[in-house]
Each structure stands twice: as C-alpha cells, then as structure tokens.
Amino acid sequence: MTDTSTEKEAIQTQHDTGEKTDEYFIDERFADIQMLRYDVPCFDKLTLRRKLLIYYLTEAALTGRDILWDQNCQYNLPLRKTLEAIYGNYSGDKDCTDYRHFLTYLKRVWFSNGIHHHYGYSKFKPLFSREFFLRELEKVPTSLLPIPEGLARQDFERLMDRLVFDTDFMQKRVNQTDGEDLVATSACNYYAQGITQHEAEIYYNSIKAAQPTDRPVMYGLNGRLERNTDGTLTENVWRKGGMYGKAISRITTLLEQAMEYAESETQANTIRQLVRFYETGDLALFDTYNIMWVQDTDSEIDFTNGFIETYGDPLGIKASWEGYANIVDKQSTMRTTTLSQNAQWFEDNSPVDTRFKKAHCTGVSAKVVNAAILGGDLYPSSAIGINLPNSNWIRAEHGSKSVTIGNLTHAYRVAAKGSGLTEEFTIDKATKELIDMYGETCDNLHTDLHECLGHGSGQLLPGVDPDALKAYGSTIEEARADLFGLYYMPDDKMTELGLTPDTEAYKALYYSYLTNGLLTQTARIAEGEQIEEAHMRNRALIAHWTLRHYPQAVGITERESKHYVEIYDYPALRNAFGVLLSEIQRIKSTGDLEAARRLVEEYGVKIDQRLHKEVRERYAKLNIAPFKGFINPRYTLVRDKDGQAIDVAMDCTETYTRQMLRYGKEYSTL
Ligand code: ZN
C-alpha cells in the first residue's frame, strides 16, 4: 500500500529548509504540476560497494518504465514516441501559442506516464489546435514514427489523432463509477478490449476457488487477461520470455549485477528469488520472495522492484510496475522504532471490537528512509509512505515493512512553505499558531502511525474473503489506517513515549485533517467532477462523516463570505474518530460490502458544488500547483583507465525535459 503526500500540503507549517536553499528544491512548473528536486543527503558518505549497489538498483528501477506506460493504456508508448518525434523534428516558431500548448501537453503526458491525468484518471484536453498537430505529425519522417508492422502510416496518424483529440476515445484510465462495467469502460490495459467486468469476475472467481483459502497467491497480479480464439479467457503473463519480456530481461540482468554488491547473503538471496520470479512469472515464488524481503530488516539499503500496487486496475487485481531504492535514515528511524516496539499496546487499547484485534502483532517494522531513485508508478509523482508486501496472509504471518520517505517529505515542506494556504483556510490566529508550532511534528507522526500501526492492525474474521470489499477496499483500508492515527494522536501514550511534545499538539493535526477533507483537497478536482482516488475518498469520508454525526464537535462556518472549518470540541472529535474506526474495522473484518458501499458513496465521493467553486477560487488566487512530482538524481559510473568502477557520481541538476527525453532513449525497452 502506498500513501500519497498531497494531503500534507493542505495546511503547512513554516519549516527550516536545512542547508539547501528553496531554489534547490523547487523547479519547473506547468499545468497543475510543480516539479521538485530531492536531495539524497547521505549518498556521498557511502562506501563504494554501497554506491554500486544503489547504482544497479537504480538502473533496475528505471528500466521498467515502459511497462507502466503500456499498462496505463495500450496506446501510451506509440503516442509518447510520436510526441517526442514531433518535439525533436519541430523547426517552427517556438513562441507560437500552439507550440507552447503542445509542450505543456507533452510534459503532462510524461508526468502521468500516459494520456490520462495521474490523479483524476481522465484524458487530457489538448490546448493546441488539431491543425497544428496533424501538420507537424505529417512532417515527421516515417522512420522516426513507431508505426506497428502492418499498419499504414495514414491509419497510424488517424489513431494518434483520435488519442489526442477524440474525447470519447479511451476517455478514462480507471473508471470506478458505481453500477457501470468497470472493465469495459476503463482505458487501462489490464484487460483486452471486449472483455466485460462480469467475465473477468467469473474468471478470477474460478481461480480463487482453486486456491488454498489460508495462503492464496495473489492470482491475476502479473498478467493481462485476454481472449483465446475459441472465446475462452487466458492470462498473458508478464515474465521473461512472455509479455513485457524484453524489459523484464533487462531488469533481471541489472538485479543480478546488484546482487554482487548486496548488503548481505540474505539480501543477495532475496534478489535471486525475485529474479526467479521474473523468469517464471510463478506467483508462489513471488510469495517466497516477499517473505524473504520482509524478513530482511538489517539491510541499510533496500529496494522495491516489480508488480506491486493494484490502484490502477478497476477490479484491484492487477499490479502496476514500480521500482525504487532507498537508504535508511537512522536518526529519524528511532521514532518509528518506538511505535513498532509498542505495537501490541496500541492494538490492545484500540476502540475496535476484540474479535477484530490481533492477539499477536508480528513484525511491524518501520523505517524512515531517503529515496535514492523513483521509478515506474512512483515517478515522477511519488508516495511518501509505503507498506509492503500486500499479500494478506504474508502480512499476517510474517509482518510487513513500512517506510516513510524523509527526503521527499522534506522537499514537499519546502515547496509548501510560505504558500499562504494555511492563512487562507485557517479560521483564526490561534489555530494558525497551533499549526505553525505543531503541524510538522504531527504530520510526521500521523504518517508514522498510519504506516507502522494502522495498516498492520486488526484481523479478518475466519473465512472472510480479503477482497470482499471489491472496488471499495482501498478506500476503506486507507480510512482504517488514517483513523488509527487520528484516534491515537491525543493519547497520553504518545506523550509518555516522548513522541508528541504535549497534550495540545494533536489539535494541529485535527484541524488540518478536517480542513483538507472538507475543503482544500477538492481544489485539485475539476468543477463538476467527483472524488475518484482512494486516499482522497478516504479523507472526504472521515471528514464528512464526522461533520454529519458530530455537529457539536465540528462545523463549517462562514465569515465574510468565506467558509472555514470550526472545531468546537476537540476531545469529542477524538471520540468520533474512535467510533468510526470501530465501524470501519468491523466492515473490513466481516467483509461487509454493502456497508462499505454506503459509507464511501454517501461521504467519500460527492462534492458540494457551491463550496467546491469557492475553494477552487480561493486556491486559484494563491497560485499553488495542486500536484507535485520529482526529478530524479542522475547516477553515473566513474571508471579508471582500466575500466574499473572507482566511484558513482550523483548529479541533481538535470532538467525535467532533459530527464524525460533521456529516459525515453536510455530506458526504452518496449
Ligand atoms: Zn495507507
């Protein structure tokens, strides 16, 4: 599971930027995007061996890029190559409006790894003219266009034209509209065209029925569902020699090189197991790999590489490709270690029904890390918290590894500093001061609680299907983890453990959280649209449910024709979060799909249009980019005259466009 950072921008605290200046972190801006850089503070101090390990893990993380592009939509790769060819071939006026809009469009496509918005999932609307596009496309020599064999250039051009300009074609990457055929209406490439949701569900239900109930593999995770000539369905597995085989083969070579510099024999064996999984596509091997990976808690350099998260599949079965590498931040990790060591206390004292609690909390490991590279579905828009593996039985029997990515969080803070957002959406000076004083500490702690304890807490009743909540599962799971953190933030245990400075600090989090859920997060959604993304739905659900059921604790107040969140009773809010946590855990533990649907549809999806308009106008005046993403550092091997690697150089000056064009060349595998 991953957690996005955007909520952290909602209300921000002033923060010391460290030794780097703001300009270092804040880079290019286009459309609704602000690009940021991140620092890898400890890299230069690493031994050569560790630098080499990072280098090969980094290369492996970048090499899967094209897999994700193809997963997001089957036409993404040809379109990217076509747009890049037009960009490279263009010799006209670079100041003309059409060209400038074309550039913005290209940057958005790069950012989203395809033609659909990375958060809203809708297809981008180009602002350049169709005439401009067709004229420039026509000028590109055929040899530079990725025209598939057997397709006439004319037909290829028509396809590109439809992709960019036909609003009904491939309209939404992931459609989650209740009651529609989610498979047939989603543009993602996990199911071949013509396959319906009903067919896919029957297919996977039959596979599920053949699985052992106690330790099922994550069936369907690593393949595209396709139709045989006789009409039956089959899975085209992503593996060496199979679908995406060219990319996977390059990844395994790099992983084998990384293995030579592994932190330990354990880590080398873990990587070897991952390679075997990539070679065979056998999900039982993926389970063994995950068990080995989760047990390796000593390695100071760690990684993720593979088919991991299922947010991009409307049925939540198929995983998008991602890769990254990280270096532990030992000092900050003390904080999460404290939480982990007390995991059982938190579990025992939570407000949920005893039947849904874990008798033994196993292996909740938690670290603060610095990212060394972001790849696949983590690039350029990244999670700041990651908790893996996702297999329920492995989590139950072997625990999970949870990380908070410190250097990314820090870059976000720098970007948010002085944006004026806190001032605009905070009701009074006293609350603003509270947020200034405690906001950052509480934000960090809430993320830690969410990742280290929230996701790992609770248990399903025996026989309950882990996928029972279907399309609502992700939202309910995120709400569970968020509520766990919200509930515990004011607890005396937090001050006793030395984590919160005093018993007032939690108020900063409560105010920020509700303001985000009720008001500010909708600034990132276009007028007239609903909330789609699971983390956003979760925050809306919690905030709106609380507003409806605890009017004595929280309200929305109008002052000088602006609306603000007003909190009347903080302790009562804690009580509200406890009650909702208990209900959400019941829904999860019993697999109550109907209750999940009611909660999410009632509180997590719809937006009050009048309030939405106001929030967007106030937000627009602040001129803040609603989404942020990261430019990666560039690592190069330094060799002596005999060709021996003597160092790995890290460079953080590459521009966004250069990086994207370079990735298009160096990591083009499909
Ligand atoms: Zn989460």
pLDDT at residue number 336: 85
pLDDT at residue number 364: 63
pLDDT band at 4 (very low <50, low <70, confident <90, very high): low
* Ligand 1: centre distance to CA 173 (Å): 22
Give exposure, 533-568, as e/b (b: 16+ Cβ within 10 Å): bbbbbbbbbbbbbbbeebeebbeeeeeeeebbbbbe
Other beta carbons within 10 angstroms of residue 140's beta carbon come to 18
Q: Do the Cβ atoms of 401 and 387 come closer than 8 Å?
A: yes
* Ligand 1: centre distance to CA 478 (Å): 5
Instruction: Please determine, for residue 13, whether its predicted confidence score (pLDDT) is greater than 80.
Output: no
d(CA 324, CA 60): 8
Other beta carbons within 10 angstroms of residue 165's beta carbon come to 15
For residues 427-436, average pLDDT: 94
Instruction: Please determine, for residue 83, whether its predicted confidence score (pLDDT) is greater than 70.
Output: yes
pLDDT at residue number 366: 76
Least-confidence region, from 260-264, 418-422, 451-455: 418-422
Tokens of 307: 């088919």
* Ligand 1: centre distance to CA 453 (Å): 10
pLDDT digit string (tens) for 437-453?
Answer: 998 889 889 988 998 89
* Ligand 1: centre distance to CA 455 (Å): 7
Q: What are phi and psi of 567, to 5 degrees?
A: -105, 120
* Ligand 1: centre distance to CA 413 (Å): 20
Instruction: Tell me which of 570 and 414 has the higher pLDDT.
Output: 570
Instruction: Please determine, for residue 127, whether its predicted confidence score (pLDDT) is greater than 80.
Output: yes
* Ligand 1: centre distance to CA 256 (Å): 31
pLDDT at residue number 6: 43
pLDDT at residue number 456: 85
* Ligand 1: centre distance to CA 402 (Å): 10
d(CA 401, CA 387): 6
For residues 572-581, average pLDDT: 98
pLDDT digit string (tens) for 504-534?
Answer: 999 999 999 999 999 999 998 999 999 998 9
Q: Is the pTM of this model over 0.75?
A: yes
* Ligand 1: centre distance to CA 5 (Å): 11
Instruction: Please determine, for residue 14, whether its predicted confidence score (pLDDT) is greater than 50.
Output: no
For residues 582-604, average pLDDT: 98
pLDDT digit string (tens) for 26-70?
Answer: 789 999 999 999 999 989 999 999 999 999 999 999 999 999 999
* Ligand 1: centre distance to CA 365 (Å): 15
pLDDT band at 17 (very low <50, low <70, confident <90, very high): very low
- Average pLDDT of every residue of the chain: 93
pLDDT digit string (tens) for 196-244?
Answer: 999 999 999 999 999 998 999 999 999 999 999 999 999 999 999 999 9
Instruction: Please determine, for residue 24, whether its predicted confidence score (pLDDT) is greater than 90.
Output: no
pLDDT at residue number 365: 66
pLDDT at residue number 362: 61
* Ligand 1: centre distance to CA 656 (Å): 28
pLDDT at residue number 9: 37
d(CA 270, CA 273): 5
